[in-house]
């Protein structure tokens, strides 16, 4: 009979997320994950299979916490500009409020891991597509209703916003200056 897990996998994944956000996949050893989670190496391997398995679980939990609520928000009936402003301003608030300047796990995974880990690349494509689809639907509605008149397909405009989101995260990790990040938000909103 198999033994039941004696640790909270969700809490272990949360601790791993923080490590991976601070130092990336390569910058974290399995021993550091053991220390951060308080879970033995054998138990971690039993639950996740490998360091890569822990990373995949961390990426999935981070994605769900980030992308799912955003997708739900984009589907509401509020004016598109208001929603886009809320999303981008909320992102700036998050970046500026993160005094540790941790990287976005999605952005760092794209840079560090997507080219060499097919599962990570697939997860990132899925996450990007989910958010892009949400923005596309929002922008399509806004164009139909005449709220946004910028030329371009809703999909192209959604990609523009996604690039802005990722760009804000990168710039914010380098210099979390609210004024300069918000000036970028205002340029995006003016462009729409």
Domain ranges of the chain: 62-191
Among 90, 87, 82, 89, smallest CA distance to 148 is for 82
Q: Which ranges constitute the DSSP H helices of 25-153? A: 30-37, 41-48, 51-74, 80-97, 105-112, 118-144
Contact 155/114 with Cβ under 8 angstroms?
Answer: no
pLDDT digits (tens, 9 = 90+) for 49-102: 999 999 999 999 999 999 999 999 999 999 999 999 999 999 999 999 877 767
Query: Exposed, middle or buried by CB within 10 Å (0-12, 13-18, 19+), for 89?
Result: middle
Beta carbons of 131 and 107 less than 8 angstroms apart: no
Single pTM value for the model: 0.88
φ/ψ bin of 81: left (φ > 0), alpha (ψ from -120 to 50), beta (otherwise): alpha
Among left, alpha and beta (phi > 0; psi -120 to 50; other), residue 117 is beta
Architecture of domain 62-191: Orthogonal Bundle (1.10)
Model confidence over 126-173: pLDDT tens digits? 999 999 999 999 999 999 999 988 888 999 999 999 999 999 999 998
Model pLDDT, residue 8: 86
Sign, Cα dihedral of 188, 94, 58, 10:
negative
Tokens of 38: 């308080």
CA distance 185 to 85: 7
Per the CB < 8 A criterion, the answer to whether 106 and 91 are in contact is: no
Phi, psi of 45 (to 5 degrees): -65, -35
Q: How many CA atoms lie within 13 A of 83 on its CB side?
A: 24
pLDDT of residue 1: 41
């Amino acid at each position: 009979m198999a033994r039941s897990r004696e640790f909270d996998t969700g809490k272990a994944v949360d601790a791993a997320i923080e490590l991976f956000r601070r130092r990336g996949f390569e910058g974290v050893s399995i021993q550091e994950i053991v220390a951060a989670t308080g879970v033995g190496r054998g138990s971690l391997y039993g639950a996740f299979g490998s360091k890569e398995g822990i990373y995949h679980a961390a990426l999935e939990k981070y994605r769900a916490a980030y992308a799912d609520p955003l997708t739900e928000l984009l589907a509401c009936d509020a004016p598109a500009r208001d929603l886009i402003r809320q999303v981008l301003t909320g992102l700036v608030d998050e970046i500026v409020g993160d005094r540790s300047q941790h990287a976005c796990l999605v952005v760092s995974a794209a840079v560090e891991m997507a080219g060499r880990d097919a599962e990570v690349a697939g997860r990132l494509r899925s996450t990007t597509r989910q958010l892009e689809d949400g923005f596309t639907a929002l922008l399509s509605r806004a164009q139909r209703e005449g709220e946004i008149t910028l030329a371009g397909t809703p999909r192209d405009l959604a990609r523009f916003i996604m690039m802005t989101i990722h760009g804000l995260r990168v710039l914010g990790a380098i210099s979390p200056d609210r004024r300069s990040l918000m000036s970028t938000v205002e340029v995006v909103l003016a462009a729409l």
